[in-house]
Amino acid sequence: MDGNITMDTLSSEYAGRFLALANGLSPENLTSDGEATMTQVIQRRKALMGQWQQLENAVGRKVSEDEVYQWTFPRT
């Protein structure tokens, strides 16, 4: 895929996977609402970011969390 791919032109499968990863990266999810140890938080973030990078490689470009949330919750 080329660099002109936008969130609107990604398949719903890819967009949904990015959204699931972005949700997993939220502070409350990363920290299990403050109950996770720092080591657990670091391990979770590393795993999620690895999955994010694999997904970016699959779509052929970088995708930001902000872009995912803007696509999911568009301003009207």
Q: What is the pLDDT of residues 36-52, one digit of tens each?
A: 999 999 999 999 999 99
Alpha-carbon dihedral sign for residues 60, 63, 67, 72: positive
CA–CA separation, 14 and 16 (whole Å): 5
- The per-residue pLDDT for 26 is 95
- The per-residue pLDDT for 50 is 98
The full set of domain ranges for the chain reads: 12-72
**Residues in the chain with pLDDT < 70?**
1-9, 76
pTM above 0.85, yes or no: no
